[in-house]
Amino acid sequence: MNAPLADADLAAGRLLMAKLEAFAAFTDEPRRLTRLFLSQAHRRAALAFIAWCGEAGLQAKIDAAGNVVARYEGKRAGAPALMLGSHIDTVRDAGLYDGNYGALAALAVVEALSARAERLDHAIEIVAFGDEEGVRFRTTLTGSLALAGNYPEDALDQRDASGVSMREALIEFGGDPEHALLLRRKGVAAFVEAHIEQGPRLEAEGLPLGVVTAINGATRLEVGVDGVAGHAGATPMSLRRDALTAAAEMTLAIEERARREPDLVATVGRLEAWPGATNVIPGHVQFSIDIRAPADANRARAIADIEARISAIATARRVSASLVKTHEANAFACDPGIIAGLAKAVEAVGVSSRLLPSGAGHDTMAMGKLCPAGMLFVRCKGGVSHNPLESITVEDCAIGLKALIRFARDFRAS
Ligand code: GLV
Ligand code: MN
Ligand code: MN
């Protein structure tokens, strides 16, 4: 079921698509979209977002934690707010829509209301989080954790690969590290994040929209493997303590463990070897593990198994391995009231409401500790994400926006 869109809905969708395309110009790398937390490109994107908010009559600002925030008052000043938004940081070589869709769609909701001078019983607040991908620093979600009153204070001392601390980067960006700890919001009645699905289910079922029921729990680990660097020509194979071949075996063991269990996924997404020369046996390797599952107990069991396998491989290969947990988020159940409200809004715009879980992590997990929270998914081509080939249609972009506007109008702060 997919109702035809009115010309005005399509025009709003086209405008949103054009903004998403223009927004991709804010990148840290030429010819590909890379916008890491608190980078120059992130700051330029934040300022552009603020300027667009200004065009819609909103005074937006960068808050202490590096989020862009703005408020569209309801009929009564100071009324409880429905907060809408997503993140504007990206992975390296990203697509245009992950996060950016939800942040710019939130602004488009206010643009639609403001164009008609329409005020609701509640305020609408817009947020463009900056730290969802966790690519630059080890921690992630600091922006949404801050609004929920759970800012991880120790995150500020983390350093990026160039040695810049999050504290220094946040100050440079226009944030305020000391006040990030005090950002816990009052008066937010609910949070809703629109986002591309990043998976193939909606496309497979011929549906443009989905309503998220739950978000998989996730753990990130950093593994350091120490062997002995040596001469690639002069050291016999039997005498080597090669950190990279050990890490390779560990990576395959991680994959094998994850494959044994439906719905559990594990990824080694980054691996670096030192000293990194063709004629030197690698003496040190650092790699990341990302493990996710819908059930926290299954994830915990998998982590324990993986730790045991890494330790056994290290012993057999006469290297040492150390593991540090850098991120942990339990599975998150979306609020039943928000799920019902989003399902109603989706049906109201002429689409069957498909309920589905999210395999990817989202700021909604952190916001759910502050207030009822939920998510609207928009179909993406082939389920492809974290890839420049990410793609959505103008029609899906428009119908997602229409459903979000409908939800915002029908929302009642309890
Ligand atoms: C964010 O995109 C994540 O799920 O890692
Ligand atoms: Mn995202
Ligand atoms: Mn992402």
Residue type, 160: D
The atom of ligand 1 lying closest to the CA of 385 is 2
Distance 385 CA to ligand 1 centre (A): 10
**How much is the pLDDT for 3?**
63
Cis peptide before 275 (omega within 30 of 0): yes
Using alpha carbons, select from 81, 112, 335 the residue that is nearest to residue 186: 81
Within 8 A by CB and 6+ apart from 252, the residues are none
Residue 265 CB–ligand 1 contact under 6 Å? no
Spatial separation of the C-alpha atoms in residues 167 and 62, rounded to whole Å = 15
Main-chain phi, psi angles of 39, to 5 degrees: -80, 175
Token pair, residue 47, equals 């300022």
> Pocket of ligand 1, candidates 265, 292, 386, 387: which has the most ligand atoms within 8 Å of its Cβ, to mutate?
386
Give the separation between CA 323 and CA 263, rounded to whole angstroms: 24
Ligand 1 atom nearest to 198, measured from its CA: 2
181 lines ligand 1 (CB under 6 A): no
Residue identifier of the C-alpha nearest atom 5 of ligand 1: 361
**Distance in Å, CA 278 to ligand 1 centroid:** 33
Per-residue pLDDT, 2: 58
**Residue 240 alpha carbon to ligand 2 centre in Å:** 42
Rounded distance from Cα 136 to ligand 3 centre (Å):
13
133 lines ligand 1 (CB under 6 A): yes
Do residues 264 and 281 touch, judged by C-beta distance below 8 A?
no
| Dihedral over alpha carbons 51, 55, 57, 58 (to 10 degrees) | -20
Ligand nearest to the CA of 90: 3
Whether 360 is in the pocket of ligand 1, judged by its Cβ within 6 Å, is yes
pLDDT tens sequence across 30-72: 999 999 999 999 999 999 999 999 999 999 999 999 999 999 9
Candidate of 93, 129, 133 to mutate for ligand 1, largest count of ligand atoms within 8 Å of Cβ = 133
Mutation to probe ligand 1, out of 362, 365, 384, 387 (largest number of atoms < 8 A from CB):
362
Centre of ligand 3 from the C-alpha of residue 90, in Å: 6
Q: Are 37 and 140 in contact (CB under 8 A)?
A: no
Q: Tell me which residue has its CA closest to atom 3 in ligand 1.
A: 361
Q: Spell out, as residue ranges, where the chain has pLDDT lower than 70.
A: 1-3
CB distance 361 to ligand 1 below 6 Å: yes
Q: Please, which residues bridge with residue 124 across strands?
A: 72, 82
Query: What secondary structure letter does DSSP report for 384?
Result: -
What global pTM score does this model have?
0.92
